[in-house]
Amino acid sequence: MRKRGFEVCKGFEDKNINLPVRKTAHSAGYDIECAEDTVIPKFVPGINPTLIPTGLKAYMGDDEVLYLYNRSSNPKKKGLILANSVGVIDADYYGNPDNDGHIMFAFYNIKDEDIVIKKGEAIGQGVFAPYLICDGDNAVGTREGGFGSTDKH
């Protein structure tokens, strides 16, 4: 029986995407790689974050979440910071009709030059975790789309 894990999402089946792995027995996070060469332009006010494709989707229990974190070395070595500090992938994002649950990292580049991330380069990590529900919670909405769609129902 499947509990949680990663799969290659639609459109990336022939792109040699590596499924995330933990590097040590006590690592919390699964290292996630970039699915294609991507340029992250240097930051200027008003610029949108660059979405880094992973070619991955994640399945998990209904009471679980996948948190996306930056690599600890990215800010110092590459000037990369996550636009949303921590990404949140909900269980119902998996297989959604807009993008099949494609996981992407949203980065800003705070260096003075553009940064190129190569296909297969580790860009972040994913940590699965359970979450709790408040007393009186009555959420019944159904996800209708992909990236940034939790306020659409």
Q: Is residue 135 part of a domain?
A: no
Q: Is the pLDDT of residue 152 over 60?
A: no
Give the domain extent around 54.
Answer: 5-130
Q: Is residue 139 part of a domain?
A: no
Q: What is the CATH number of the domain that holds 126?
A: 2.70.40.10
Q: Is residue 150 part of a domain?
A: no
Q: Is residue 100 part of a domain?
A: yes
In this predicted model, what pLDDT tens digit does every residue of 49-79 receive, in sequence order?
999 999 999 999 999 999 999 999 999 999 9
d(CA 82, CA 57): 19
d(CA 79, CA 124): 13
Mean pLDDT across the stretch 96-119? 96
Q: Is residue 149 part of a domain?
A: no
Give how far Cα 110 sits from Cα of 54, 59, 79, Å. Answer: 21, 32, 5
Q: Is residue 143 part of a domain?
A: no
Q: Is the pLDDT of residue 153 over 90?
A: no
Q: Is the pLDDT of residue 123 over 60?
A: yes
Q: How confident is the model at residue 40 (pLDDT cuts 50, 70, 90)?
A: very high
Domain count, the chain: 1
